Structure 1
């Protein structure tokens, strides 16, 4: 059995990776908006969501987003956005020399976080 199928989804992933700052701006059943700030050495590790999409919107800095199924690399700068659809594994990195700050809009559906590593 692959590692992807052995790992169990979690309802709150905050303890799984460190960030400089994390804030929740809105939350209601099936939808939430969070703001994350990553240092140049921090990442949001490989994961996917079973039911929801992640829409990333960069507020400051530069993001590099790695995706699988299919394999893709996306760079986003201030004002740009990208949607990682439900079921598509992704990893978020900061490619700048300063902090990366971005919004992540998650929904519509029940949130889960399925780690791949």
Structure 2
């Protein structure tokens, strides 16, 4: 089986309602994403950086592997996904989900995972 190849820019791999970069420094970045009720950030992992999710509006359903877990976040809530832990971000409500993702400290990459359930 082929190993998925890390990419530096994952914006072409999935659709979102809106994407805004708020900060980008070597080893750290803050991005704001808005997902419709049917959109998701597909299963992936990061080699070196953690994802810190902070919900601004709506409800997030976060699915994780190693160990298997589901986390539901409301506005003002935060969850950190450590490097190399597979995760999937979905909208947990009927309205748009808007959240910040703080990524660092380290070189960013996005490793898509195929066949993860």
Return the offset for 1:21. 0.1
1: CA distance, partners of 2:92 / 2:111: 24
* Alignment-derived partner of residue 101 in structure 2: 104
CA shift digits 1:57-113 (9 cap, x unpaired): 000000000000000000000000000000000000001111000000000000000
**Which of 9, 16, 24 is equivalent to 2:13?**
16
Unaligned runs of 5+ in 2: none
What is the RMSD computed on CA atoms of the aligned residues? 0.7
TM-score, length-scaled by structure 2: 0.96
TM-score, length-scaled by structure 1: 0.96
1: CA distance, partners of 2:51 / 2:11: 16
- What are the equivalent positions in structure 2 for 1:82-101 lying under 5 Å apart? 82-101=79-98
CA shift digits 1:1-47 (9 cap, x unpaired): 4x6xx111001100000000000000100000000000000000000
2: CA distance, partners of 1:91 / 1:11: 18
Aligned length: 114
* Alignment-derived partner of residue 50 in structure 1: 47
Match status 1:32 vs 2:29: yes
Query: Which structure carries more helix by proportion?
Result: 1
1: CA distance, partners of 2:22 / 2:89: 20
